[in-house]
Structure 1
Amino acid sequence: GLGPASAEAPAPQLETLLKPPDVARRLGVSRSWLYQAAKEGRIPSLRLGGEEGPLRFVEADLREWLDCARASWQPGDTTRDTMRRVAERRVA
């Protein structure tokens, strides 16, 4: 028969977390650039278990970050101009 466990709601799915080498490869950047950008808050990231924990990236956050950067770009922009607009959109 059906026990109490089968009546429970399904467990929520966790976000897909990516490791730095995977993200660096996908973005075509060095791991050192990626770590520095994460440290400076230029790319969405998190540290598991606190400041000294392993660096991870939420796949959905990276997609949103890239989409926002693409949408914010204008001809003649420097990277700094584009990223400033991305930051302004994320705060708003």
Structure 2
Amino acid sequence: MVYPVTDSAGRPLILMRPRLENSKDTDKQIKFLIYHLEIASRMADKLGVGKMCWLLDFQGYTLANAPPIRVSMTCNSILQGGK
């Protein structure tokens, strides 16, 4: 989720808690990630910082609530500037 606050450097804050993901629709999970990336990117541009801050809370994260490897690989590709 993108929060309407910034870190100490003025960057938009994205907080992810993977253990709370309960959707089994992997396409929607990827679209949700892209949606929040776009919001944070627009906020960063508007604030003039051009960067964002990510916080990942893996407390309680297990293989039982992990997404399929295909989803993880697709998200990694998106974050690296791929497709």
Higher helix share: 1
Task: Tell me if TM exceeds 0.5.
Answer: no
> Which protein, 1 or 2, shows the higher relative CO under an 8 Å CA cutoff with sep ≥ 6?
2
The interval holding the TM-score normalised by the smaller chain is: under 0.3
Higher strand share: 2
TM-score by length of 1: 0.23
Structure ID, larger Rg: 1
TM-score by length of 2: 0.24
